[in-house]
Amino acid sequence: MSLSKALSLMPRRKLTRGPTPIERLERIEDALGAAAKGIRLYAKRDDQMTLGGGGNKLRKLEFLLGDAAAKGADTLIATGGRQSNFARLAAATAAKFGLSCELVLAPMVPRDGAEYDRNGNVLLDDLFGARIHHLPQGVDATTLANERAAELSQAGRVAYVATLGGSSAVGCVGYAACALEIQEQATELGHDFTSVVVPNGSSGMQAGLVAGYRALGLDPRRVHGHSVLAPAEKAKIATVERANDALALLGLEPSVALDEVTVSGDQLGPGYGIPTQAMVDAVRLMASREGLLLDPVYSGKAFAGLLEDIAAGQYGAGDNVLFIMTGGSPGLYAYASHFLGAERGSPDVRER
Ligand SMILES: Cc1ncc(COP(=O)(O)O)c(C=O)c1O
């Protein structure tokens, strides 16, 4: 069965308006001297989806919502860190489809204060009308979400629980669909993308892309993940498991092996959600050179990884490198003091 046919059999609620644009990053190429090395850089604008401020999680939510509807759900329960982009988009999606939404948010990052606790995604969760359960340290979010679903069920309601950043097999299918979308765009553009660079948090986006490329008969190693949550080896194992689960769900052969998945741990720094200078520099470079917004937790670190890999000579003449802009810019407001108070790093950042 083709990937396209397999996808058409999955329940889905359309949240995107056609393919997201692919744009050349020429001013970044100039700043890096990448053009001189013959490397062409592109951004896929998954940050440009409209609902709820947009971002990569909408692709997962299309299939999660489809599954929820097929199960008759009237409530969406999502878990995440306090500044979770997935939680924000789950709340926006629930608002759009008339579902109740409850968010179970855990303190995954050692930060507090008004900037972090009452701004960015937390502010938007509230505007979208979600009921928020802020967990103290040490309480497991998935357990609490399942307990809450059981309570609602006793009251005659039907809750759909989406944990792990939406990276269940169902959620991962959203990025298998994205692999197909990228390849259709590559055909239109007349050139293939030799590498696709992504952040790896709960591993679902990379897993979905890997599953998609496998299903298309293309090498999944073209997807380069930069882990922002787990050590690289752990993220790699999770990516393989999720890719194979997604393939099985689609009715395709779950045949992805460990050595077919590429994840780097170089940008994790001190840990999940903890800023690094390389991330701050990468966010500033993308903003000041292209007018585009990365986020401090995921895409900022992944783009920093891409910049370092280019500097290290990992890419060469003729490479068309596609970076997926995953959204998450509301997170910038929760980290404002790291940017406004931070020394500007590389000369490229100061240069206009
Ligand atoms: C903005 C953004 N980019 C990337 C990711 C990583 O996606 P995944 O968790 O599927 O690895 C996330 C996950 O929360 C995100 O919010």
Task: Quote the crossing angle between the two packed helices 232-249 and 169-189, to the nearest 10°.
Answer: 90
Residue 235 within any structural domain of the chain: yes
Residue 346 within any structural domain of the chain: no
Residue nearest to atom 13 of ligand 1 (CA): 201
Backbone angles phi, psi at 15, to 5 degrees: -120, -10
Query: Is residue 49 domain-shared with residue 173, that is, in the same domain?
Result: yes
Which sequence positions are flagged as catalytic?
84
Residue 306 within any structural domain of the chain: yes
What spacing in Å lies between the alpha carbon of 36 and ligand 1's midpoint? Answer: 32
Query: Is residue 245 domain-shared with residue 215, that is, in the same domain?
Result: yes
Query: Is residue 29 domain-shared with residue 176, that is, in the same domain?
Result: yes
Query: Is residue 160 domain-shared with residue 305, that is, in the same domain?
Result: no
Q: How many domains does the chain have?
A: 2
Mutate to test the pocket of ligand 1, among 223, 297, 332 (most ligand atoms within 8 A of CB): 297
Nearest to 300 by CA among 338, 262, 254: 338
- Containing H/E element for 183? helix 169-189
Predicted confidence at residue 342, as pLDDT, reads 61
% of the chain beyond a pLDDT of 70:
97
What spacing in Å lies between the alpha carbon of 228 and ligand 1's midpoint? Answer: 9
Residue 350 within any structural domain of the chain: no
| Tokens 């306090």, located at residue | 82
- pLDDT band of residue 88 (cuts 50, 70, 90) is very high
Predicted confidence at residue 343, as pLDDT, reads 57
Amino acid at position 259, single letter: D
Residue 243 within any structural domain of the chain: yes
Pairing of strands 40-45, 22-24: antiparallel
- pLDDT band of residue 346 (cuts 50, 70, 90) is very low
When pLDDT is averaged across residues 337-350 and rounded to a whole number, the result is 61
Query: Is residue 178 domain-shared with residue 36, that is, in the same domain?
Result: yes
Query: Is residue 209 domain-shared with residue 327, that is, in the same domain?
Result: yes
Predicted confidence at residue 50, as pLDDT, reads 84
Task: State the residue range of the domain holding 63.
Answer: 57-166
Return the structure tokens found at 282. 């990468």
Query: Is residue 314 domain-shared with residue 232, that is, in the same domain?
Result: yes
DSSP bridge partners of 24: 42
Predicted confidence at residue 347, as pLDDT, reads 39
pLDDT in tens, 108-162: 999 988 899 999 999 999 999 999 999 999 999 999 999 999 999 999 999 999 9
Q: Which atom of ligand 1 is nearest to the CA of 60?
A: 10
Distance of CA 184 to the CA centre of its chain: 21
SS3 102: strand
CB 263 within 8 Å of CB 225:
yes
Q: Which atom of ligand 1 is nearest to the CA of 167?
A: 10
Q: Which atom of ligand 1 is nearest to the CA of 331?
A: 1
Query: Is residue 174 domain-shared with residue 129, that is, in the same domain?
Result: no
What spacing in Å lies between the alpha carbon of 154 and ligand 1's midpoint? Answer: 33
Query: Is residue 247 domain-shared with residue 308, that is, in the same domain?
Result: yes
- pLDDT band of residue 351 (cuts 50, 70, 90) is very low
286 contacts: CB under 8 Å, gap ≥ 6: 28, 292, 293, 294, 303
Domain boundary among 116, 139, 166: 166
Pocket of ligand 1 (CB under 6 A): 55-57, 85-86, 165, 167, 199-205, 295, 298-299, 326-328
Least confident of 59-63, 106-110, 337-341: 337-341
Report how far residue 160's alpha carbon sits from residue 144's, in angstroms, rounded to the nearest whole number: 13
Does the pLDDT value for residue 289 go beyond 70?
yes
pLDDT in tens, 12-39: 999 988 899 999 999 999 999 877 789 9
pTM (predicted TM-score): 0.96
Residue 349 within any structural domain of the chain: no
Which CATH number goes with the domain that contains 156?
Answer: 3.40.50.1100
Domain boundary among 142, 166, 190: 166
Query: Is residue 189 domain-shared with residue 281, that is, in the same domain?
Result: yes
Query: Is residue 215 domain-shared with residue 230, that is, in the same domain?
Result: yes
Predicted confidence at residue 350, as pLDDT, reads 34
Residue 270 within any structural domain of the chain: yes
Query: Is residue 255 domain-shared with residue 327, that is, in the same domain?
Result: yes
Residue 293 within any structural domain of the chain: yes
Domain boundary among 131, 166, 201: 166
Nearest to 38 by CA among 344, 335, 318, 260: 318
